[in-house]
Every structure is written in structure tokens, then in C-alpha cells.
């Protein structure tokens, strides 16, 4: 069993995984001000919650899109498990062929989910990850990572509405009763929840058109659960996709 961590702009995803199963997936807020010790305490407390002895872990691996705290979290992990921790980046073998203008600019989280998708699902496929940004990644039938799309995330959109429109405010992501809202809150929920679902449906259609075939569609990320049920396309929700990819990359580098 290893400790797998994905550092995102809003959340740090922490989990334990091996070749057989994912033992847990938890999220804590990303905080660039925490010290090595503070992150170590947070991660150790999560492990203790699941009765996992940090010293008994085989190793650890991290992917990160927040460079200022990548090394901080890496050092905190090494402090609590007493073993080296891998960081996805230059020099790490992933086995993924990236067909992009500049492969080095592809986020490590996108690489990791693509690696997991190749092992777990039928290609071609797209991966929808709904976090601070909503990203759609595409892998073709030959297992090449060929690109994707990036859109503002749901929370970012809500916060922007609340900040820029004087009569609007932040709301919870509950399912609206109707598409045609009868009050401000219902109108916003319709726009955010059903509007986001419609956007994903439309993008999936366009991806399929450009691929020339219908792709498998996988969704991950903490906010996906609120949106995916309202999509009209068949979408597989896999909350452990990132951790599965980290396990595969960890194994490739041993």
C-alpha cells in the first residue's frame, strides 16, 4: 500500500492505494501558508482516522499543479512515512505519449488521469475533471494524449457571479426543481448545475465529432457528482481515477 496525493488549486486529495483497491479518498483545503510540520500533522491525522500506520506504507507519490507547496508536501510525507516520496514531473516515467505542441506544459494531474484511463477504460476516451477549473482531456484509440479543453470551474463561476453582480450571491449546488427558475436562487441553480451539464454534453458531442468516433467518457473530481447525473451522455464517475494513475506511475518507477 502507498500514500498517493494530488495537490490541486483548491484541494489536496489524499488516499491510500495498492494494486487491488483504493482504501480511502479524502480532501483537505490547499493552503500555501502551511509549514512542513503542519501538512505532516494533517496527513498523519487522516491516516490515523483510517487506522493506517504511516511507517508501514511501502512509499508515496505526489502530483501537483501548485509548485509553491509541492516540495513542502513532499517533505511532510517523507517526515511521517520515513521513506522517499516521488513527485510526478521531469525524470518520472509515465509511459504516456503526449501529442501536444509542448508536452512539458501538460498538467501532471491530466497526465496521471490519462495513464489511469488507459489501464481502466476503453480508448478513445475523454476525462472530465471538475475542480477549480473544469478540464476535459482526450486520449485517442492509439493511447496517445492528444489534447483537451479548459473551462472555468463551477465554484469560480459562482464566486464571479456573487462578486460582480450586486443582486446575486453564493448559493449551494443543489439540484434545481425546474429548468425555468421561479426565483433568483432557482435561476442560478438552473444556470450553474443544468447549464454546466449541458455544456459538458455539448463538448462531448464536439469531441466525438473531431475524433470521428464516440469516446468513453469518465468523470472525476469533487464537483462532478453534482453535475454528471444531469448530463444526457453516459458518463462513468470514478473518484479514484487520479489515485489509480499515481499507483501505476509509482509502480513504473520502482
Residues annotated catalytic, as ranges: 109
Give the separation between CA 29 and CA 88, rounded to whole angstroms.
20
Q: Would you say 110 is a known binding-site residue?
A: yes
Q: Would you say 196 is a known binding-site residue?
A: no
Q: CA angle, corner 118, sides to 204 and 216, nearest 5? A: 25
Distance in angstroms between the alpha carbons of the first and the last residue of the chain: 14
Read off the DSSP letter of residue 56: G
Q: Would you say 12 is a known binding-site residue?
A: yes
Give the separation between CA 18 and CA 5, rounded to whole angstroms.
13
Q: Would you say 129 is a known binding-site residue?
A: yes
Residue 232 corresponds to which cell in the numbers above?
A: 444526457
Q: Would you say 72 is a known binding-site residue?
A: no
Q: How many alpha carbons lie under 13 Å from residue 8 in its C-beta half-sphere?
A: 24
**Residue showing cell 484509440:** 141
Q: How far is CA 159 from CA 6, 77, 152, 171, in A?
A: 24, 33, 11, 9
Strand, coil or helix: 241: helix
Q: Would you say 8 is a known binding-site residue?
A: yes
Q: Would you say 9 is a known binding-site residue?
A: yes
Q: Would you say 134 is a known binding-site residue?
A: no
Helices (H) then strands (E): counts for the chain: 8, 11
Alpha-carbon 154 to chain mean position: 14
Q: Would you say 107 is a known binding-site residue?
A: yes
Q: Would you say 109 is a known binding-site residue?
A: yes
What secondary structure, in 3-state letters, does 101-136 show? Answer: CCHHHCCHHHHHHHHHHHHHCCCCEEEEEECCEEEE
Q: Which residues are annotated as a binding site for substrate?
A: 107-110, 184
Q: Which residues are annotated as a binding site?
A: 6-13, 107-110, 129, 132, 184
Q: Which residues are annotated as a binding site for K(+)?
A: 129
Q: Which residues are annotated as a binding site for ATP?
A: 6-13, 132
Amino acid at each position: 500500500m502507498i500514500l498517493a496525493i494530488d495537490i490541486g488549486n483548491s484541494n489536496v486529495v489524499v488516499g491510500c492505494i495498492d494494486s487491488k483497491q483504493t482504501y480511502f479518498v479524502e480532501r483537505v483545503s490547499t493552503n500555501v501558508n502551511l509549514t512542513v510540520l503542519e501538512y505532516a500533522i494533517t496527513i498523519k491525522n487522516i491516516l490515523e482516522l483510517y487506522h493506517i500506520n504511516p511507517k508501514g506504507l511501502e512509499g508515496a507519490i505526489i502530483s501537483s499543479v501548485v509548485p509553491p507547496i509541492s516540495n513542502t508536501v513532499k517533505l511532510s510525507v517523507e517526515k511521517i512515512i520515513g521513506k522517499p516520496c516521488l513527485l510526478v514531473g521531469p525524470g518520472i516515467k509515465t509511459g504516456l505519449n503526449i501529442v501536444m505542441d509542448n508536452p512539458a506544459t501538460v498538467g501532471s494531474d491530466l497526465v496521471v488521469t490519462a495513464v489511469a484511463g488507459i489501464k481502466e477504460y476503453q480508448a478513445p476516451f475523454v476525462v472530465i475533471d471538475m475542480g477549480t477549473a473544469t478540464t476535459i482531456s482526450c486520449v485517442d484509440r492509439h493511447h496517445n494524449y492528444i489534447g483537451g479543453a479548459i473551462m472555468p470551474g463551477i465554484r469560480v463561476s459562482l464566486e464571479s457571479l456573487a462578486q460582480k453582480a450586486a443582486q446575486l450571491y453564493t448559493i449551494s449546488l443543489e439540484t434545481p426543481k425546474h429548468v425555468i427558475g421561479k426565483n433568483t436562487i432557482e435561476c442560478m441553480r438552473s444556470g450553474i448545475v443544468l447549464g454546466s451539464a449541458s455544456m459538458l454534453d455539448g463538448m462531448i458531442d464536439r469531441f466525438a465529432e473531431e475524433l470521428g468516433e464516440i469516446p468513453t467518457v469518465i468523470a472525476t473530481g469533487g464537483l462532478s457528482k453534482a453535475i454528471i447525473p444531469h448530463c444526457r451522455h453516459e458518463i462513468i464517475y470514478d473518484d479514484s481515477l487520479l489515485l489509480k494513475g499515481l499507483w501505476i506511475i509509482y509502480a513504473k518507477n520502482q
